[in-house]
């Protein structure tokens, strides 16, 4: 298990302004819409006539991540990913991010550098500019707040409220792997705490561990939709489990939904982890969360185009609100969906 770095440069030797200067020295700007980045009271962005998309996520130690098994570099990377994923979920392109940190005294400059290595890696991969943020002290641990800014043509934006009856329900990638990885890490942590001489056994679980510790946003799907000139009627990213996200779309669009358990894409390692824990792997996908895949709806006449799209699966369809929200199980029975969400599922 990971141990916090207790040897290194005390942050107090730099001071707040010195830390900001230290963290911003490697920042490079690449977006034409970035007029002024770090260094003033606010960033300045050139408006291009498109709509501006803004989203913010807060990651709190002990709630959203556990530093006993989360590498700091991965944490920085994930903090960016979860925000740009929200921009892609609007069918928009992320352009800039701001990062704010609340840091306790147990973190050294080198530890913060590790976080920022991950931040810079993600910014480079998703081609976004780091244009500002804030730093402050914390009495309880580490908090990371990221705001992502994107842009899109008005007629290309996908809201949660546009789903229509008979639309196809589509998901990207596979679901439940991030939650499977979290269950594995929590299990090994408990074993380690009870007997520190026992080394964690994580062999054979590389995929679900990466999905939990270093997820990716679906930039490729955003680009595929652009290339196919498909604008989803509704879209959302899967951060709280498939059931909760379907509820959001159905409630905003005033519709119902029917999905099929056998069509939900689930990776072999997720199956394996569920079996080890004696749990139904479909529950991982429905209520696990943190997959950061995309859930979207398209008109029925887009079926052939969607079928040709890599890593996209049709899992059901939209129906009238009066029919409710349910899943057809493998044995043909209809099960009402529940919006448990990731947080409630882990209580």
Among 35-39, 73-77, 142-146, 298-302, the minimum mean pLDDT is found in: 35-39
- Name the average pLDDT for the chain: 91
Which of 34, 33, 31 lies closest to 49, judged by CA? 33
Residue 346 has a pLDDT of 42
| Paired tokens of 268 | 């072999």
pLDDT at 63 over 70: yes
What is the rounded average pLDDT of the residues 160-187? 97
Segment 94-147, tens digit of pLDDT = 999 999 999 999 999 999 999 999 999 999 999 999 999 999 999 989 999 999
Which of 208, 188, 209, 210 lies closest to 199, judged by CA? 188
Distances in Å between the Cα of 289 and the Cα atoms of 15, 148, 181, 241, 345 are: 38, 20, 11, 4, 9
| pLDDT tier, 345 (very low <50, low <70, confident <90, very high otherwise) | very low
For 285, which DSSP code?
A: H
Which secondary structure element, helix H or strand E, spans residue 252, and what is its range? helix 242-253
| pLDDT tier, 344 (very low <50, low <70, confident <90, very high otherwise) | very low
pLDDT at 65 over 50: yes
For 197, which DSSP code?
A: T
pLDDT at 89 over 90: yes
Instruction: Return the higher-pLDDT residue of 194 and 293.
Output: 293
Cβ pair 109, 11 in contact under 8 A: yes
Residue 6 has a pLDDT of 57
Range 281-312 burial, b when 16+ CB lie within 10 A, else e: bbbbbbbbbbbbbbbbbbeeebeeebeebeeb
Q: Where are any strands of DSSP class E within 143-247? A: 143-152, 168-172, 234-238
What is the rounded average pLDDT of the residues 285-300? 96
Residue 183 has a pLDDT of 95
Cβ pair 43, 36 in contact under 8 A: yes
Cβ pair 157, 225 in contact under 8 A: no
| pLDDT tier, 40 (very low <50, low <70, confident <90, very high otherwise) | low
Residue 347 has a pLDDT of 42
Which of 14, 38, 13 lies closest to 24, judged by CA? 38
Q: How many CB atoms sit inside 10 A of residue 268's CB?
A: 11
Segment 251-264, tens digit of pLDDT = 999 999 999 999 99
The C-alpha angle with vertex 103 and arms to 101 and 126, in degrees rounded to 5, equals 30
Q: How many CB atoms sit inside 10 A of residue 280's CB?
A: 12
Residue 87 has a pLDDT of 95
Whole-number Å distance between alpha carbons of 208 and 184? 9
Query: Percentage of residues in the chain with pLDDT exceeding 70?
Result: 93
Please enumerate in sequence order all residues whose Cβ is within 8 A of that of 40, keeping only pairs 6 or more positions apart, or say none: none
Instruction: Give rounded-to-5 percent helix, strand, coil for the chain.
Output: 40, 25, 35
What is the rounded average pLDDT of the residues 270-280? 94
Which of 92, 52, 55, 53 lies closest to 225, judged by CA? 92
């Amino acid at each position: 298990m990971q141990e916090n770095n207790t040897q290194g440069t005390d942050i107090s030797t730099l001071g707040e302004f010195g830390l900001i200067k230290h963290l911003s020295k490697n920042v490079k700007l690449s977006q034409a819409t970035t007029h002024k980045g770090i260094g003033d009271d606010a960033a300045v962005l050139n408006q291009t006539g498109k709509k501006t998309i803004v989203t913010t996520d807060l990651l709190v130690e002990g709630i959203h991540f556990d530093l006993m098994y989360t590498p700091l570099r991965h944490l920085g990377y994930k903090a960016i990913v979860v925000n740009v994923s929200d921009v892609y979920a609007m069918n928009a392109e992320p352009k800039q991010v701001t990062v704010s940190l609340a840091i306790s005294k147990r973190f050294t400059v080198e530890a913060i550098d590790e976080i920022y290595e991950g931040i810079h890696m993600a910014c480079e991969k998703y081609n976004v500019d780091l244009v500002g943020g804030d730093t402050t002290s914390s009495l309880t641990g580490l908090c990371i707040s990221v705001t992502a800014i994107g842009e899109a043509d008005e007629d290309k934006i996908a809201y949660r409220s546009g789903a229509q009856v008979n639309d196809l329900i589509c998901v990207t990638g596979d679901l439940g792997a991030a939650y499977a990885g979290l269950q594995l890490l929590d299990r090994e942590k408990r074993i380690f705490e009870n007997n520190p001489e026992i080394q964690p056994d994580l062999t054979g679980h590389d995929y679900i561990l990466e999905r939990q510790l270093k997820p990716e946003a679906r930039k490729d799907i955003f680009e595929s939709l652009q290339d196919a000139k498909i604008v989803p009627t509704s879209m959302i990213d899967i951060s709280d489990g498939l059931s909760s996200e379907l509820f959001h779309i159905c409630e905003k669009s005033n519709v119902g939904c029917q999905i099929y358990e056998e069509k939900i894409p689930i990776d072999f390692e997720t199956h394996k982890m569920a079996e080890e824990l004696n749990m139904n792997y479909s529950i991982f996908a429905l209520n696990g969360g943190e997959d950061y895949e995309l859930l979207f709806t398209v008109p029925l006449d887009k079926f052939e185009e969607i079928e040709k799209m890599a890593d996209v699966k049709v899992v059901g369809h939209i129906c009238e609100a009066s029919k409710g929200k349910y899943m057809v199980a493998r044995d043909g029975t209809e099960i009402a969906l529940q919006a448990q969400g990731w947080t409630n599922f882990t209580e």
